[in-house]
């Protein structure tokens, strides 16, 4: 498994050509992520947590669509400290999704 700091660092964005409102929207649940962003986050989650049988990729896509990135990476960081990170990540992210307002 890849180090958590490497995964989080590789998820940082380049905001050099974006307006302030665009930057603010990326940190809220109301922002709409592109398919490419969702796939990128899901790939990074799968890389950090390891490939599972059956695949958790569809679930990671759902997490990437529904949760703000800060919650995703915080959940991943906490999960990596547990005995079985993929299961703990699934639990934490599902709890956040239950609480998250629907768009």
Tokens of 23: 């930057």
> Nearest Cα to 80, choosing from 7, 29, 13, 10?
7
Tens of pLDDT, residue by residue over 79-90, are 999 999 999 999
Which pTM was predicted?
0.68
Radius of gyration of the chain (CA): 13
pLDDT digit string, tens, across residues 45-80:
999 999 887 899 999 999 999 999 999 999 999 999
Question: Which of the two residues, 53 and 2, has the higher pLDDT score?
Answer: 53
Summary mean pLDDT of the chain:
79
Q: Of 92, 52, 56, which Cα lies nearest the Cα of 71? A: 92
Distance CA 35, CA 97 (A): 19
CA-based max dimension of the chain = 41
Domain residue spans in the chain? 4-9+33-99
């Amino acid at each position: 498994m890849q180090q958590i700091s490497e995964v989080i660092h590789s998820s940082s964005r380049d905001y050099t050509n974006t307006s302030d409102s665009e930057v603010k929207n990326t940190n809220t649940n109301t922002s709409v992520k592109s398919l490419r962003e969702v796939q990128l986050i899901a790939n990074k989650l799968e890389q950090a947590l390891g490939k599972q049988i059956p695949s958790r990729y569809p679930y990671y896509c759902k997490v990437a669509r529904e949760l703000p990135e800060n919650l995703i990476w915080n959940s991943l960081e906490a999960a990596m400290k547990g005995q079985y990170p993929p299961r703990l990540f699934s639990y934490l992210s599902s709890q956040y999704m239950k609480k998250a307002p629907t768009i």
